[in-house]
Each structure stands twice: as structure tokens, then as C-alpha cells.
Amino acid sequence: MPKRTTCTTCMSKDVKERLAANFPGLRPKLEQVATCPGPGDIVLCEGPADGRRRAKREPSAYNRFIGDCLRNKHLTHFDPQAMKDCAAKWKQQKGKQ
């Protein structure tokens, strides 16, 4: 899943002024944000800051193998030993190829 960030579509003038007073380095970024009409308003949007969504990366052969191996064990909780066993099976399988 892509990392989610929060973007700001607009901020009221008083919020911008208070932020700029406390964090002078933010002033250039605050100037780029649109001004909301209401006092104390901040309108946020969720998603990547640039508005693009990346496609989910396909799981690797290792990820698929480990997932299948752990599912076949019918675990009710995470078991470190089961993970070690599956990783050992993967190494053994990779050594045969």
C-alpha cells in the first residue's frame, strides 16, 4: 500500500500567520497554500501529496512462498519458529534450483 501523506488544500489567514510566527522556515510553503474564507479553518486532503497513486507492487516469490507456508500451518497467531521453519524451507528450495 502506498505511503499516505496529508496535504492542505487551504488555511485561514490567521492560521497561516500563527504558523509563520512560530516556524519562520514555513513561510515560503505557507504562501503556496490557498487561503480559506473562515477564521481558524484548515482543510486537509488524504493521499499522496502530489495527487498520484502508485500501483501496488507485486509480492516477490519469497513473499508468496512464506505466505503460503505460514497459511498451510493454520496458525492462530504469529509464531517466530514457524517463520524460521518456512525461511529454512525457502533456502533449501532455492539451493536445489
Predicted confidence (pLDDT) per residue in 32-78, tens digit: 888 887 766 677 666 555 555 667 789 999 999 999 999 998 888 88
Give me the pLDDT at residue 78, please. 85
Task: Please indicate, yes or no, if residue 34 is contained in any of the structural domains.
Answer: yes
Q: Is residue 87 part of a domain?
A: yes
Q: What is the mean pLDDT of the chain?
A: 80
- The count of structural domains within the chain is 2
Domain housing 70: 61-96
Contacts by 34-39 with C-beta closer than 8 Å and gap 24+?
A: 34/9, 34/10, 35/10, 35/11, 36/10, 36/11, 36/12, 37/12, 38/12, 39/12, 39/14
- The pLDDT assigned to 10 comes to 79
- Give domain status of residue 55, yes or no: no
pLDDT at 52: 59
Same domain (yes/no): 11, 39: yes
At 48 the pLDDT is: 55
Please report whether residue 51 resides in a domain. no
Q: How much of the chain, in percent, has pLDDT values that exceed 90?
A: 25
